[in-house]
Amino acid sequence: MSAIAVPLPRRLAVALALTACLAAPAALAQQKIQQQMSAEQFKNAGLNKLDDQELANLNAWLNRTLDTETSKAVVKAQEETAHERRGFFDKSPAREPVVARMTGRFEGFSRGQTYVLDNGQEWRQDDNADLPGVKLDSPQVRIAPSVIGNAWYLSVQGYNTRAKVVRVK
């Protein structure tokens, strides 16, 4: 059996790159600031005027600040990744409904039809639900997860019929 390559979503790739970038400065932060700067940079910043205790306090503050900001960035990247993954088959805790507008004309449900939303997501209908005679321009839609399992259902504002959909983009 061959493995299927699944591209990382853009935000996940950014989160991983951000984590890697933040790890390098974190390692540098464990060094003293005077070791990270050239002698000229250190002097131009006026840091040569600090006594040993003031310099130690500055280094401690920089280390705490860098640790705090790194933690905040990681949490934010994880939240954005979870939000971006909504609707894809995963164990993500982000199961809140998607509310958006469909782009273009909606002329009812049809199995296999792909619905493009104004937020860039694309969903394909995976059941035989139909909604004959409906013709709407860019209607508001709600895509909500099922109570059990990983199914998602699309409904168009003003109509009770729901279609089972699968996120494709």
Q: State whether 104 and 148 are in the same domain.
A: yes
**What is the domain range of residue 108?**
98-167
The verdict on 106 and 154 lying in the same domain is yes
Cα separation, 115 vs 27, in Å, equals: 46
Q: What is the pLDDT of residue 36?
A: 84
pLDDT of residue 19: 54
Task: Tell me: do 106 and 123 sit in the same domain.
Answer: yes
Whether residues 103 and 163 fall in one domain:
yes
Question: Does a structural domain hold residue 147?
Answer: yes
β pairing state of 140-145 and 114-116 = unpaired
* Per-residue model confidence (pLDDT) at position 127: 93
Distance of CA 156 to the CA centre of its chain: 25
Residue 3 lies in a domain: no
Instruction: With respect to residue 63, please indicate whether it lies within any of the assigned structural domains.
Output: yes
Residues 111, 159 within the same domain = yes
pLDDT at 137: 93
Total count of domains within the chain:
2
- Give me the residue label for tokens 């509310």: 99
Which stretches in the chain have pLDDT values below 70? 1-31, 81-94
Residues ≥6 apart with Cβ < 8 Å to 37: 45, 47
- Supply the pTM of this predicted model: 0.48
| Whether residues 41 and 79 fall in one domain | yes
Point out the domain boundary residue: 45, 66, 90. 90
Q: What is the pLDDT of residue 17?
A: 56
User: Where a domain ends, among 65, 90, 115?
Assistant: 90
* Same domain as 106, residue 64: no
**Which residues are 152's β-sheet partners?**
145, 165
Q: Domain for residue 138, yes or no?
A: yes
Last residue of a domain, one of 67, 90, 113: 90
pLDDT of residue 150: 82
149 half-sphere exposure, CB direction, 13 A CA radius: 6
Per the domain annotation, does 6 fall within a domain? no
CB atoms within 10 A of CB 48: 11
- Indicate whether 79 and 104 sit together in one domain: no
Instruction: Mark whether 163 and 108 lie in a shared domain.
Output: yes
Strand partners, 155: 142, 162
pLDDT for 60: 81
